[in-house]
Structure 1
């Protein structure tokens, strides 16, 4: 959920706002009624390990590609004579 708060509230209630952001809330900070910033949780970094089960789940929901048709379209789009 996205909430709008004035800059003054951010200054006066800093700890409460940061706790709410840590819990997943997003805030749009305004100055004189105009939005000037967005305060939101940081997304986690890139993972270095993906489990086999997750790979299998992702692969089963993916689009199936006909490799012959894909190759023909690629050969048509790219000059193979270079």
Structure 2
């Protein structure tokens, strides 16, 4: 569970913008208030990972569920047969 965002005022945002934006870049979230009412949130953008290391892939593979090849093939056949008029017939 992620921690609750820190509450800051509009004035805090104005006066401490560099410090706050550096904190957002570092992963922290903030709720901005005006007159005691929440008006917005500053949250870090999720960065998309492009690659998974070999070690991480191996670790994930060890805990992946096993595949029953007969069931997998039956699923493929059922899907392929569901579209008999497909231009790429088997």
- For structure 2, the 5+ residue unaligned runs are 86-90
Q: Which residue of 1 aligns with 2:59?
A: 57
Higher relative contact order (CA 8 A, sep 6+): 1
TM-score after normalising by structure 2: 0.64
Q: How many residues align?
A: 81
Which one has the bigger strand percentage?
A: 1
- For structure 1, the 5+ residue unaligned runs are none
* Deviation of the 1:17 alpha carbon: 1.4
Take 2:25 and 2:34, find their aligned partners in 1: how far apart are those partners?
A: 23
Runs of 4+ aligned structure 1 residues displaced above 6 Å come to: none
TM-score after normalising by structure 1: 0.68
Q: CA RMSD in A?
A: 2.4
